Structure 1
Amino acid sequence: MTTNSAEANSARYRHEVDCCHEGRSRTGPDNGWMACNDRGRTLIARVFEYSVFVVAGAAAVWLGVLVSIQAVRLGWYGVFVAVLAWGVIAYLALPRLHQILTEIYVPGYYIGRSRTGDGVLGDPVNLAGLGTRAQLDRVMHEAGWIRADEITLVTSLRIIATALTRRSYAEAPVSSLYIFGKKQDVAYQMEVEGSPSKRHHVRFWFAPPRWRLPGGYPVDWIGAGTYDRAVGLSLLTGQITHKIDADIDAERDFITESMTAADDDVDLSVIEHYSSGYHHRNGGGDAIRTDGALPIVDLRRVAATDAQPQTTRRTSWRTLRPASAVAALLIVVATLITAVSAFSTVTGRSALPDLLILVSYLAVAVLVFFGVRWAQVVAVILTAYKVVDAFALWVQGGQITFDRLLISVSLAVITLLLLTSRNAARATT
């Protein structure tokens, strides 16, 4: 395999930014918030990161218990609270538990399967190829595929808006799946009759320089393509998600056929019985089956410039990650709630100390919003302290009812989970 210098340098840079460049391995829970490895980091730093990550997971389970108890106590009026309990368990507690547990038993090396953000096995790798990103982008464009947007605060809000108005969003982001310790480098999709619940889509990961598939096959990238057939609930977490068609080979063939039909310079070969044919489930619990063949798409004869888009690490409001932005917003809300309570009880003493604390918290929230690393660490410490303090009160028999206290606990737990998430890490500077 021959990889041009520009592509190799671009690949190395992407791997360095994404905490997975050649010669290094990730240690600890695969949450993305922690460093790529332990090299040059103190034992105290490692213990702190691992501890906070686990504390956040335990806090999510505890919050699910608290909200469920309130739902039972409120009787018929607890239906709304029960929905909140489902949200806490499905979107906070179970995903973090999966992250912690799968780090123990899911291999971190390449096994032909992607991993979800929760750490469980995702879609299988069912195609691979040779060529640059520019060549891949040209062929996919000619074949009628649309590049999916990145998941940012703006695109997340757009998804909500289009779902409510039932409008088409052809560039809608796809969920992040991980191989080589990083999410997909690029994803493409095709809508089916403008339906938000049905679409063809494929994710691509560019391989590290000189990387080879098992068996010694040289490739520049690998891909995982599936067909979304409907919207439903994840079997593993209960989250609302797309349900994929079990016949992933049909989607694999659809993708490769569209690429070869789009450009006569695209060559296709197939490694028969690359893996054993098998039946399994993906990260959403959907059944999948494959015959084990792996197509290799060769794009090296496709005419395309080797120039890569310039990569920048500057953070703007259009590229802000939802996790950091929402965490900052929750810090502001929690701070204002605390401030109102504190100022209302000020009698015979100066309010200046409380005002200084308020300003400090708001300043930290602003820095977290823009992904400043040290501010995120400070926010993690302050938020973890709030959660542990509330838990100690509960253990000692204190009542945490559905009022300001439970709201405060909920805000703190959700903030802690967001700050220690993979998504927040990608936005830090």
Structure 2
Amino acid sequence: MRMSAAARTVLPALAALIAAYLVLAYFLVPEMWIFREHRLPHFDSMVTATADDIPGDPINVGLVGTKAEVMNAFATAGWHAADAITWRSSIDIGLSVVLHRPDSDAPVSPLFYRGRKQDLAFEKAVGDSADQRHHVRFWLTDQSDNDDRPFWLGSATFDRGVGLSHDTGQITHHIAADIDAERDGLIRDLQAAGHITSTYDIDGVGATMNGRNGGGDSYFTDGLTLIGIVASGAENRQGAAPLR
């Protein structure tokens, strides 16, 4: 079938427009943000960063427990480990959003804490697609408790919908502003599943009313990081073991 004259004109223009968008959103604008952020005082040590080195979501939750204990706790609580980002998983999450079909283990974008991508990520779907979901990323630290169980720091947020980043124009999930609600809800889920024996707070990003993450979304927080002690087998800890 021969292509019409109109199609021969429109298709190259459309391809050029898409290429211009990709270059602008994924290369030029991120470089502008990197330049801007590096001229400002460096962001707080309890804030993650995007792959473009733009300040991301704050650290607002933590766990003490082995990897197996943490994985088991989330599985029992009805949360799913997020898939790695591959062509297949990227297509699946896209179809989930567009076709409104479930994808309970959809991938999450990488965030970096102290130069490292998250070690673990979990999510709990809301509704019939990956458009909205509770999710959390965790980073293994070099600290442990008195029983040599690892200390994990994490960032819990709620994805309220898919759209374009307010800062770069990249396709992304937008988060809900009340990140404390996500932090507290996550720990409540693990407690209800019988896997958290005690909790305590540590200083986090600090009280913030007008924060902005790497997608340009606003957030507010009391600034505390809520730490949960994961149950070790049948043991029921009565207090939080100190970190060392």
- Say which of 6, 13, 26 aligns to 1:91: 26
Deviation at 1:271, TM superposition (A): 4.0
Q: Structure 1: which 5+ runs fail to align?
A: 1-73, 212-217, 305-429
Aligned to 2:226: 295
Aligned to 2:54: 120
- Work out whether 1:270 is the aligned partner of 2:191: no
- Say which of 79, 82, 103 aligns to 1:145: 79
Aligned to 1:187: 121
Assess if the C-alpha contact under 8 Å between 2:60 and 2:154 holds in 1: yes
Assess if the C-alpha contact under 8 Å between 2:60 and 2:156 holds in 1: yes
Assess if the C-alpha contact under 8 Å between 2:46 and 2:204 holds in 1: no
- Work out whether 1:228 is the aligned partner of 2:155: no
Equivalent-residue separation in structure 2 for 1:160 and 1:205 (angstroms): 26
Deviation at 1:162, TM superposition (A): 4.1
How does 1:276-315 map onto structure 2 within 5 Å? 276-302=207-233
How does 1:366-385 map onto structure 2 within 5 Å? none
How does 1:68-107 map onto structure 2 within 5 Å? 78=13, 81-99=16-34, 102-103=37-38, 105=40, 107=42
Aligned to 1:367: none
TM-score (norm 2): 0.80
Q: 1:233-258 CA deviation, whole Å, 9 max, x = no partner?
A: 11110112111100111111110111
Equivalent-residue separation in structure 1 for 2:195 and 2:40 (angstroms): 44
Assess if the C-alpha contact under 8 Å between 1:260 and 1:268 holds in 2: no
Assess if the C-alpha contact under 8 Å between 2:60 and 2:183 holds in 1: yes
How does 1:22-421 map onto structure 2 within 5 Å? 78=13, 81-99=16-34, 102-103=37-38, 105=40, 107=42, 111-163=45-97, 165-209=99-143, 220-263=151-194, 265-271=196-202, 275-302=206-233
Equivalent-residue separation in structure 2 for 1:82 and 1:154 (angstroms): 26
Aligned to 1:402: none
Deviation at 1:92, TM superposition (A): 2.4
- Percent sequence identity over aligned pairs: 36
The structure with more radius of gyration: 1
Assess if the C-alpha contact under 8 Å between 1:121 and 1:283 holds in 2: yes
Equivalent-residue separation in structure 1 for 2:184 and 2:218 (angstroms): 18
Equivalent-residue separation in structure 1 for 2:18 and 2:130 (angstroms): 24
Equivalent-residue separation in structure 2 for 1:302 and 1:265 (angstroms): 11
Equivalent-residue separation in structure 2 for 1:254 and 1:243 (angstroms): 19
Equivalent-residue separation in structure 2 for 1:274 and 1:232 (angstroms): 26
Assess if the C-alpha contact under 8 Å between 1:228 and 1:242 holds in 2: yes
- One-letter identity of the residue aligned with 1:191: A
Q: 1:333-356 CA deviation, whole Å, 9 max, x = no partner?
A: xxxxxxxxxxxxxxxxxxxxxxxx
Equivalent-residue separation in structure 2 for 1:81 and 1:133 (angstroms): 47
- Bigger proportion of residues as helix: 1
Aligned length: 224
Are the structure 2 counterparts of residues 264 and 227 from structure 1 closer, same or farther at C-alpha, using a change threshold of 3 Å? Answer: closer
Are the structure 2 counterparts of residues 152 and 80 from structure 1 closer, same or farther at C-alpha, using a change threshold of 3 Å? Answer: closer
Deviation at 1:161, TM superposition (A): 4.6
Equivalent-residue separation in structure 1 for 2:16 and 2:198 (angstroms): 56
Assess if the C-alpha contact under 8 Å between 1:159 and 1:172 holds in 2: yes
TM-score (norm 1): 0.47
Q: 1:122-179 CA deviation, whole Å, 9 max, x = no partner?
A: 0001111211111111111111100001112332343345455443211110000000
Q: Structure 2: which 5+ runs fail to align?
A: 1-8, 236-244
- One-letter identity of the residue aligned with 2:118: Q
- Bigger proportion of residues as strand: 2
Assess if the C-alpha contact under 8 Å between 2:48 and 2:59 holds in 1: yes
RMSD of equivalent CA atoms: 3.0
Are the structure 2 counterparts of residues 133 and 210 from structure 1 closer, same or farther at C-alpha, using a change threshold of 3 Å? Answer: closer
Q: 1:226-285 CA deviation, whole Å, 9 max, x = no partner?
A: 001111211110112111100111111110111111115531223478723432110000
Q: Secondary structure at the match of 2:210?
A: strand
Deviation at 1:96, TM superposition (A): 3.7
- One-letter identity of the residue aligned with 2:187: T
Deviation at 1:224, TM superposition (A): 0.4
